[in-house]
Amino acid sequence: MRLSRFAALAVLALAAPTRAAETPAVGKIVAADLFKNGLAVITCEVTLGKAGDYRLDSVPKPVHGTFHIDAGSATVEAAVKVRDVAVPADEAGSGDLQNDLAGKNVLLVLKGATPKSVRGTMLKLKPTKGGEAAARRFLVLQGPAGRVFVDPADVATVEVTEDKGATVTRKRPQLVLTLSGTDKPQTKVTLRYLTHGLSWAPSYRLDISDPKTLKLEQNAVVRNELADLDGTAVRLISGYPNVQYARVRSLLGPNTTLASFFAELDNRYGGFGASVISNSVMSQQVVDNFRSPVSAALGATPTGEGVDLHYQSIGKRTLADGETLSLTVAKGRAEYARIVEWTAGDTRDEYGRYQDRGRSDETEPWDALKFKNPLAFPMTTAPATVVANGGFNGQRTSYWVNAGEEMVLRVEKALSVRTRAVEYEKPTGDRDLVWIGSRQYRRATVEGELSVSNNRKETIQLVIRRKFSGELQKAEGEPKSNLLVEGVYSVNKRQELTWELPLKGGEVKTLKYSYTVLVMN
């Protein structure tokens, strides 16, 4: 049986997809918890009416696996839809002429010695795969005699002869929330997710104008590149959580493709510790929270609770997209001591063989400050600037320190304190040979000498550290001996001797020690 024309049209009408009525809704970011590497935990609230579909123009860009909707006893489904949206021409910026001017009468003036013009109606074409970003070979117009194809490179000017409303069409993602399972007239829905675009950078200022008590000030700079914040409760996070998928954008994100998602999924390892700002080691140390690579605390005993993840509230803040805020987070006072710290590095490798490590920041004496964190929460890894009587003294990285824990902050090189470290193997008659596995070692006795001269007028409190590999035989001055972690699996123990002693102005101090070491032949 042949369908009538009317029946065919009816069937097509029923088969055509229809868009359910969607009520516009507005989400508000009520809370933002900021990490130091550009990640933030966002809490967005939306008030919906009765069960139905609601449309939000703001679409989140969450980290994979972190998007969550809380609607109480109700049920909410979220979908990202790409729609044609009319945008004021003066706000849209340059785009795709074919889509922007679709349905409008235009006059195209072409390039050339003798300018030609083409008049017609810009056709609305079906989007190519890849959306409006895909380049088209020709502009297609409907002219009086039929279709006209124009190379965009040949167009000098475009004149819109009928521009009602002065708007252009843009494809924009929208978040559609479908609310069901409730008969309440109003439902508050909370969206929580982890995303990029909000960050904070801490710093410290230490004023040591007083010879006994220092003033500590923690500052923070907050940068917003996410969205407008209006009365948002902001907290600054210090810690080192495991965010394994930090580099993977959720499929819910409007610009995420399957190709980019799986590529990022393959390269997800590196997690939170891999800085999104820079790959340099120092940047990672400051953006994340590292403990000091040096034995910073001299017998420190934490007096505060061990907090590994700290949230510091800075109140409700209003900060537009693209704006930056600088503020003081906390202040404190602490008694401190000025010391000169000198670390003499290990002269042996893991097999006991001599190696010249040269001179570096770790082998030269430094003026340093020893004090306990006076704040009620941990000091996060950040640059610390030291000043005294209005003058600049130095800047150094301050590493993670718990509340009440002791720390040592190096300020500047102690140029008036001269140091000298020498070691030599003591000659022996008979060679003491030792076999370990398939390798042969000889046992050698090493004698060392550390000399320090104080060319200042005042007495200094000196801390000397000598790292070595082997078994300690004897040492002058009764130093503390500490087994280092890096020597657990070595043939020779990796150890460190620590002396703490005063050194008067003009005085020279020499300390001798000896140890045995197995040297691979």
Distance CA 155, CA 175 (A): 37
For residue 156, is it within any domain? yes
* pLDDT reading at 3 higher than 60: no
pLDDT band at 273 (very low <50, low <70, confident <90, very high): very low
Secondary structure (3-state) at 9: helix
pLDDT band at 357 (very low <50, low <70, confident <90, very high): low
DSSP assignment of 51-120, as one string?
Answer: SEEEEES----BBTT--EEE-TTSEEEEEEEEEEEEEEHHHH-S--HHHHTTTSEEEEEEPSSS--EEEE
Secondary structure (3-state) at 183: coil
Give the residue-averaged pLDDT of 410-428. 91
Give the residue-averaged pLDDT of 195-214. 97
Tokens 């909000």: give the residue.
198
Q: Per the structure block, which two tokens stand in for 455?
A: 């060319």
What pTM value is reported for the model?
Answer: 0.76
pLDDT band at 291 (very low <50, low <70, confident <90, very high): low
Give the residue-averaged pLDDT of 125-153. 77
The region of weakest confidence among 151-155, 217-221, 247-251 is 151-155
Which whole-number Å values give the CA distances from 360 to 74, 295, 356, 364, 420, in the listed order?
Answer: 63, 16, 12, 7, 14
For residue 15, is it within any domain? no
Give the residue-averaged pLDDT of 383-399. 95
Q: Beta strand 27-34 with 167-180: parallel, antiparallel or unpaired?
A: unpaired
Q: Per the structure block, which two tokens stand in for 186?
A: 């109003």
At a CB cut-off of 8 Å and minimum separation 6, what does 355 contact?
347, 348, 349
Count of CA atoms in the C-beta half-sphere (13 A) of 493: 12
For residue 124, is it within any domain? yes
For residue 195, is it within any domain? no
Q: What pLDDT was estimated at residue 70? A: 96
Neighbours of 329 (CB within 10 A): 18
Cβ burial of 254 (10 Å; 0-12, 13-18, 19+) is middle
More confident residue, 294 or 488: 488
For residue 144, is it within any domain? yes
User: Do 296 and 408 touch, CB atoms closer than 8 A?
Assistant: yes
Q: What pLDDT was estimated at residue 387? A: 97
At a CB cut-off of 8 Å and minimum separation 6, what does 417 contact?
340, 342, 365, 452, 453, 454, 455, 456, 460, 462
Mean pLDDT across the chain: 85
Sign of the alpha-carbon dihedral angle for 158, 161, 162, 167 = positive
Count of CA atoms in the C-beta half-sphere (13 A) of 418: 7
Give the residue-averaged pLDDT of 190-194. 97
Distance CA 320, CA 228 (A): 4
Rounded to 5 degrees, what are φ and ψ at 463?
-120, 120
Distance CA 387, CA 365 (A): 20
Give the residue-averaged pLDDT of 189-195. 97
Per-residue pLDDT reduced to its tens digit, 43-94: 999 999 999 999 999 999 999 999 999 999 999 999 999 887 777 766 655 6
* pLDDT reading at 31 higher than 70: yes
Q: What pLDDT was estimated at residue 104? A: 84
Of the chain, the percentage scoring pLDDT greater than 70 comes to 82
* pLDDT reading at 349 higher than 60: yes
Neighbours of 119 (CB within 10 A): 14
Count of CA atoms in the C-beta half-sphere (13 A) of 250: 19
Q: What pLDDT was estimated at residue 98? A: 82
For residue 132, is it within any domain? yes
* pLDDT reading at 9 higher than 50: no
More confident residue, 3 or 431: 431
Tokens 């369908």: give the residue.
3
Give the residue-averaged pLDDT of 194-221. 97
At a CB cut-off of 8 Å and minimum separation 6, what does 307 contact?
377, 378, 402, 403
Which whole-number Å values give the CA distances from 363 to 6, 472, 497, in the listed order?
Answer: 93, 21, 14
Q: What pLDDT was estimated at residue 301? A: 44
Adjacency order of strands within the sheet including 52-56 = 22-24, 52-56, 167-180, 75-88
For residue 226, is it within any domain? no
More confident residue, 428 or 227: 227
Q: What pLDDT was estimated at residue 10? A: 41
Beta strand spans in 229-365 (E): 229-239, 309-319, 324-344
Rounded to 5 degrees, what are φ and ψ at 254?
-65, -25
* pLDDT reading at 169 higher than 50: yes
Q: How many domains does the chain have?
A: 1
Distance CA 456, CA 415 (A): 10
Q: What pLDDT was estimated at residue 272? A: 46
* pLDDT reading at 298 higher than 60: no
Of the chain, the percentage scoring pLDDT greater than 90 comes to 62
pLDDT band at 299 (very low <50, low <70, confident <90, very high): very low
Query: C-alpha dihedral over 121, 122, 123, 127, to 10 degrees?
Result: -170
Q: Which domain holds residue 156?
A: 105-162
Q: What pLDDT was estimated at residue 423? A: 93
User: Do 217 and 204 touch, CB atoms closer than 8 A?
Assistant: yes
User: Do 451 and 420 touch, CB atoms closer than 8 A?
Assistant: yes
For residue 152, is it within any domain? yes
Rounded to 5 degrees, what are φ and ψ at 481?
-110, 135
